Amino acid sequence: VAIEQNPNIEGVLIILNTVGGDVEAGLAISEMLSTLSKPTVSMVLGGGHSIGVPIAVSCDYSFIAETATMTIHPVRLTGLVIGVPQTFEYLDKMQERVVNFVIRHSNIS
């Protein structure tokens, strides 16, 4: 909101070097960036792995350094999993959200 309301901010530059992180938080950041009315640019330096991919492609323009890498993998959990059918359904829906976001915002087919 502060970015949208501040007339001194002309755009947003996101510099990424990440191994990934929380899927829910990453998708929230990606969705927020993709809806900004001001220009957005992402630059991947080093790594843009896992949930870093949706963040990178959420911007109006995405650049990846020649030496950078990006990895997409299935959503997974660590630790003890209780309720296997429910957990599988949750992971399946989460994976679908990530894939659909990347497809919509990356201009690849």
Q: What domains are defined for the chain?
A: 2-106 (3.90.226.10)
3 state SS for 12-81: EEEEEEECCCCHHHHHHHHHHHHHCCCCEEEEEEEEECCCHHHHHHCCCEEEECCCCECCCCCCCCCCCC
Q: From first to last of the 109 residues of the chain, give the pLDDT tens digit.
A: 799 999 999 999 999 999 998 888 999 999 999 999 999 999 999 999 999 999 999 999 999 999 999 988 777 665 555 566 777 788 888 888 888 888 888 877 6
Catalytic residue among 42, 50, 58, 62: 50
Q: Specify the pLDDT at position 57.
A: 95
List the beta bridge partners of residue 47: 69
Q: Specify the pLDDT at position 56.
A: 96
Cα 51 from chain centre: 5
- How far, in Å, CA of 15 to CA of 28, rounded? 17
50 included as an active-site residue:
yes
Q: Specify the pLDDT at position 91.
A: 83
